[in-house]
Amino acid sequence: MKETRSDILQGTLDLMVLKTLEAMGPLHGYGLARRIEQIGDEALAVSQGTIYLCLIRLVQRKWISAVWGASENNRKAKFYSITKAGQKQLAVETENWERISGVIGKVLQLVPQR
């Protein structure tokens, strides 16, 4: 299945979605995508298709929950919010990410030894 092909990217997208929802509260899919793009100074383009795949996966794991509501412009939209389990998972993933990025940072600082 497609999931495995871009595991790392997916993992990071999961993390970003969870963190954004924790920080910003309930958001619909479009708002979520926009927010992540803005935070990344538009350098990180989130494909609209990918975001929904990520969302359904997180819903299925019960890390986020979804309810129908109305958007600012009074459009019908699904609002996603983080659950208790999601917050727990976010803590775990954050710690993981920091550890790995720390290691990678150190590895990148290696200088050639002559």
Partner 1 sequence: MWSNLQRWVARVRAFFSASALDGELDEELKSHAAMLTDENIRKGMSPDEARRDALVRMGARETSKEEHRALRGLPFVDTLTQDLRYTLRTLRRDAAFAAFAILIVGIGIGASCTIFSVVNTLLLRPLPFREPASVVWVANQPSGGSHDLSGQTVQVDYMLDVRRQGHSFSELAAYFAFYGVGDANLIGQGAPERFTNVPVTQNFFSMLGVQPILGREFTPEEATDNGSHATMLSYGLWQTRFSRDRGIIGRAININGALSTVVGVLPESFDFGNLFAPGTHVDFFTPFPLTDRTNRWGNTLSIVARLNPGVTLAAAQAETEVIGSAMHHDHPERNGFTPELSYLSQHVSGRIQPALILLACAVGVVMLIVCANLSNLLLARGASRQKEIAIRSALGATKPRLVRQMLTESLVLSSAGAVLGLLLAFAGTRALSHLSGVAIPMLGSVHIDGPSLIFTVVAAILTGVFFGLVPALHVPGPKLHESLKDAHRGSSAGVGHALIRSVLVVSEIALACMLVAGAGLLIHSFLRVLDVNMGFHPERAVTLRIDPNSSYKTQEQRNAYFTEALRRATHISGVSGAGLTDTLPLGRNRTWWAGVQGRTYTQSELPLAFVRIVSDGYFKAMGIPLIEGRDFTQTDIPASQHVIVVNQTLARRNWPGQDPIGQKIQTNGGSVVIGVVGDVRHLALEEESGSEMYLPIRQTNDYPTVDIVVRSSLPTVEIGERLRDTLRPIAPELSMSSLQPLQSLVDKSVSPRRFVVLLLGGFAAFALILASLGIYAVVSYSVSQRTQEIGIRMALGASAGTVRASVLGQTMRLAAIGIAIGVGASFLLAGALRSLLFGVNSEDPATFAAMLGVLTIVAAIAGYLPARRASRIDPMVALRMQ
The contact set with partner 1 (CB under 8 A) reads 1-3, 28-31, 34, 47-49, 52-53, 56-57, 59-63, 71, 73, 75-78, 85, 89
Q: Residue 66: phi, psi to the nearest 5?
A: -130, 135
Nearer to partner 1, 47 or 101 (CB): 47
Shortest distance in whole angstroms from residue 106 CB to partner 1: 31
Residue (of 73, 85, 80) closest to 24 by Cα position: 80
Shortest distance in whole angstroms from residue 29 CB to partner 1: 6
> Under 8 Å CB-to-CB from 91, ≥6 apart: which residues?
none
Do residues 80 and 55 lie in contact, with contact meaning Cβ atoms separated by under 8 Å?
yes
Nearer to partner 1, 30 or 97 (CB): 30
Nearer to partner 1, 20 or 89 (CB): 89
